[in-house]
Homo-oligomer: A and B are copies of this chain.
Amino acid sequence: MDIASALDGFEHRDWDTDPDGEVRMAVVGLGNYGRNVSVPAIEAGDYCTFTVGVSGTPETRRAVADEYGVRTVDYEAYADGAAVEGYDAVYVATPNSLHLPHVEAAATHGKGVICEKPLEVTVERAEQAVEVCADAGVSLMTAYRMQTDPVVRRLREAIGAGELGTITRAFGEFSYNVLGGSRGLDQWRLDADLAGGGALMDVGVYPLNTTRFLLDTDPVAVQGVTRRSAPIEAVDEHVDFQVVFPEAVGNFAATLTGHPSAVLELHGTDGLFRLRDAFQPRRERTLVVETDTGRAVFEDIGRDETREEFDYFAHCLLTDRRPEPNGQDGLVDVEAMLAVYESARSGERVTL
């Protein structure tokens, strides 16, 4: 990897054509992540702005309306088309198993959608989300923020150019301490019906999807094991899973407890890279690249990938392009993750 060009690339928006205009965003679901991570990222964007908030909680609607001077409505009003004249596109950040109706509402209103991962909690529901947007002719982006992270995008370019040879193996893990915040056990991520799964659905999807993006490939088989222990009772606290790709195998893990950590490694015939602090939102990352010519360490690289994510989505709408992490991309991961759960139960490798 050419060090100077690599460093340069870690800040670069390879997709940005500097279009005119701005996309007005409705944010559906104003929980902690939506309100405290995504809304500020939308507000900071060059090509998007936050204009309508949707929440089921009256206090949240009032507080967000006050703080941002936007219109806020409840879920029913949003579904009925309230405020449709006030936004151009929709960001869905509700619990996972509620994504589909909100995506459907957006499609019905003719609005493009960026929907949080996982796209939905069953293959059928994820397929419906894809179909309804296709039928309505609106864009559907799965909110894979790592795909717009300039560090990840530069790595993808380098890998595609063969700078590490043929990639034969990936390692990835994301340890997110879900009980570390103020909510304790009272949160939808620990509710099997709302979340559709635990560590795998919430954070395991990051190493899976980011590896797929970097290698531009889809899984052919998976196997894995899940574990849980008190006080986590309803969903997988830990998942360890192998994903067989046509030319590589990914060894991935995720957990909802324990010491926070997030790493992605790709090993190739001519070298490897290791990305530290790989998946935490808005975190600067450390990249280690090793090849025959030596070892290079890049510290504190990148830029706020949640801002990149919303600007990328808005840029797609403004320039009439389809976002790359589309609904199909989200669907492939839902299929793979549900196959991991099936393998964990049956003890058998599951072919996709």
Contact = CB atoms under 8 A, between A and B. Distances in A.
Contacts of A171: 171, 173, 251, 253
Contacts of A319: none
Interface stretch (A120-128, A143-151, A209-217, A255-263): A255-263
A242 B348 CA distance: 13
A164 B238 CA distance: 17
A346 B244 CA distance: 15
Contact of A238 (B168, B173, B240): B168
Interface stretch (A10-18, A27-35, A268-276, A306-314): A268-276
A169 B253 contact: yes
Tallying the copies of this chain within the complex gives 2
Interface residues of A, number: 37
A291 B259 CA distance: 7
B240 A251 contact: yes
A162 interface: no
A43 interface: no
Contacts of A223: 223, 225, 242, 347, 349
A289 to B, nearest CB: 11
A109 B169 CA distance: 46
Interface string A24-56: 000000000000000000000000000000000
A175 interface: yes
A290 interface: yes
B267 A175 contact: yes
A284 to B, nearest CB: 14
Interface string A82-98: 00000000000000000
A348 B242 CA distance: 13
Contacts of A258: 165, 168-169, 267-269
A269 B347 CA distance: 26
Contacts of A267: 173, 175, 255, 258-259, 261
Contact of A257 (B224, B269, B271): B269
A155 to B, nearest CB: 15
User: Nearest 4 A-B pairs (CB), nearest first?
Assistant: A347-B349, A240-B249, A251-B251, A259-B271
